Amino acid sequence: MKKAINLKTLLIMLCALAVPGVGHSASLLEVYQQALQSDPRIHEAEALRLAALEAEPQARGVLLPQIGFGSDWTKFKSSGTSTREDSQGIFTSSSDSRGETTRWQFTLRQTLFRWDQIVGLRRANKIVAKAEADREAAQQDLIIRVALRYFDVLAAEDRLTSIHADRQSIARQLEQAKQRFDVGLIAITDVQESQAAYDQAVAAEIGAKRSLATSREFLREITGQHVSTLSAPGDDFPLQNPTPSDEASWVDLALSQNLVLVSSRLDERLARDEISFRRNGRYPTIDLVASMGESDTSAELRLAPAPTFSTADSDSQSDSISIQFNLPLFAGGYNTSRVREAVYLHRASREQLQRVTRETERQARDAYLGVLSEISRVQALKQAVASSRTALEATEAGFDVGTRTIVDVLNSQFNLYASITSFYRSRYDYILNVLALKQAAGNLQIQDLENVDQWLKDRPTPEQAIAEEAAATG
């Protein structure tokens, strides 16, 4: 076996993963901006925020004077008979009337005391604050979702490139094994081992292509369009410890400004206000009511036995001002039941707040430890790549002198490619943990994507890398 061929394949694979490619690749920030324009979830969150902002003008509106105007026009016609009896006998008379009435009225109503409106104004401020927190949380969630899908695509590309390079190397080894068997240098079992490894590599490459297509579709689901090439972290990508450097500080930040936790706190306060709101059914209401109106009636009346109608017209105006007081006394237990319901809902919101608080603390601790562990993991895997490369060279040398088998070479080769893929995956996981830590602390911003972007480099897609490999190997 010739070492040069195997090392050449390895070099091509490394270049495909790490060397900048031709043309511009989409950066993480560019993909996020596409998602910001196309993602249905962020548009849904924005629409809900705009709807919640209307709570304040609605709450203020019911406290202001309410002015109404009403009018009606009525046309009427009636007829009837009446009978009376006196000492002179029984008399029967009949009457017919017809006419029309026109009325109009302006009414002004000003609330003097309504507890539900007072509580409603107080709740409106919390509703708006919660909507703002939910909108910011949705933006941070979009950053995390985009980053996760982005690096999932890169990881799938790395895996496909690695598996393809592995298959190409196995194919060359299989060809050499057949040549050596033909001249009697090795046994048929070595050929069979190489053939089995090649068949498995072909199946693995098919699965890797399917996984890459799926990862790209997940990213397209967020961005609304297909992104052909993505930038990847370069070899100079820095690994930095979190600042502040102690876990307790990050937990305190999370408990004070995590947006999901802030929203849950506002939910608990709104549930508490709802109890006061529903108690309004027991409280009196006081309103000032002023009205001004006019009524115009034109009628004709005929009393039998008179043969003709007589006309009767009336025109009246009315102005009034009053203070209306209403005190509910009994509503069949309806109001009491609604208050009990609100008390139970408030109890549920308190438990939800406790759950979210614990989840937030756990997320902050987990993300902090994740950043530290991924830094160590990246460094360890970088060393593992160098060790696997050395092990492969030694195994190939041993195979050439007959001290190692073809199975040893295939295993060493597979371990090298797996180490390279794991190394790049660990760098993606480091970035994701950094972003998750900032999200848990509630201070994840677009600037964090810009900081990541400055360390990303253009690189070819697996399809381009395979084409480059084919051209390099002739």
- Residue 31 φ/ψ, nearest 5 degrees: -65, -40
At residue 235's C-alpha, the angle toward residues 232 and 238, to 5°, is 90
C-alpha 270/C-alpha 392 separation (Å) is 65
Give me the CATH code for the 3-59+116-279+333-473 domain, please. 1.20.1600.10
- What is the predicted pLDDT for the residue at 223? 93
- What is the predicted pLDDT for the residue at 1? 42
> Could you tell me if 6 and 172 are in contact, meaning their C-beta atoms sit under 8 angstroms apart?
yes
C-alpha 398/C-alpha 293 separation (Å) is 110
- What is the predicted pLDDT for the residue at 82? 67
> Beta 456-457 vs 285-303: how paired, if at all?
unpaired
Reading the chain (474 residues) residue by residue, the pLDDT tens digits are 444 334 444 444 555 444 444 457 899 999 999 999 999 999 999 999 999 999 999 999 999 999 999 999 999 887 777 666 666 666 666 777 788 999 999 999 999 999 889 889 989 999 999 999 999 999 999 999 999 999 999 999 999 988 988 888 888 888 888 888 888 877 888 888 889 988 998 999 999 999 999 999 999 999 999 988 999 998 888 999 999 899 999 999 999 999 999 999 999 999 999 998 888 878 899 999 999 999 998 887 766 665 666 777 888 899 999 999 999 888 888 888 999 999 999 999 999 999 999 999 999 999 999 999 999 999 999 999 999 999 999 988 988 887 887 788 888 888 898 899 999 999 999 999 999 999 999 999 999 999 999 999 988 777 776 676 666 665
* Cis upstream peptide for 305 (omega within 30°): yes
> Could you tell me if 396 and 409 are in contact, meaning their C-beta atoms sit under 8 angstroms apart?
yes
Tallying the residues shown for the chain, one arrives at 474
In 10 A of CB 33, how many CB atoms? 16
- What is the predicted pLDDT for the residue at 353? 97
- What is the predicted pLDDT for the residue at 23? 54
| Closest to 309 in 3D by CA, of 466, 79, 42, 116 | 79
- Residue 236 φ/ψ, nearest 5 degrees: -95, 15
Sign of CA dihedral 148, 153, 155, 156: positive
**Bridge partners, 78 (sequence order):** 97
Determine the longest span between alpha carbons in the chain, in angstroms: 151
Q: Kindly state the helix (H) or strand (E) to which residue 367 belongs, with its residue range.
A: helix 334-401
C-alpha 215/C-alpha 220 separation (Å) is 9
> Could you tell me if 430 and 374 are in contact, meaning their C-beta atoms sit under 8 angstroms apart?
yes
SS3 343: helix
Identity of the amino acid at 206: I
Side-chain-facing half-sphere of 171: CA atoms under 13 Å: 9
C-alpha 277/C-alpha 281 separation (Å) is 8
In 10 A of CB 447, how many CB atoms? 10
- What is the predicted pLDDT for the residue at 462? 79
How buried is 298 (Cβ within 10 angstroms: 0-12 exposed, 13-18 middle, 19+ buried)?
A: middle
- Domain locations in the chain? 3-59+116-279+333-473, 66-113+284-326
How buried is 405 (Cβ within 10 angstroms: 0-12 exposed, 13-18 middle, 19+ buried)?
A: middle
Identity of the amino acid at 12: I
Query: pTM of this prediction?
Result: 0.82
Phi-psi region of 320 (alpha: psi -120 to 50; beta: other; left: phi over 0): beta
- Which contacts (CB < 8 Å, 24+ apart) does range 426-429 have? 426/374, 426/377, 426/378, 426/381, 427/233, 427/237, 427/378, 428/151, 428/154, 428/155, 428/233, 429/151, 429/370, 429/374, 429/377
**Bridge partners, 109 (sequence order):** 66, 289
Rounded to whole angstroms, what are the CA distances from 311 to 104, 300, 388?
A: 23, 4, 115
In 10 A of CB 251, how many CB atoms? 19
Rounded to whole angstroms, what are the CA distances from 40 to 45, 143, 162, 216, 284?
A: 9, 14, 35, 18, 46
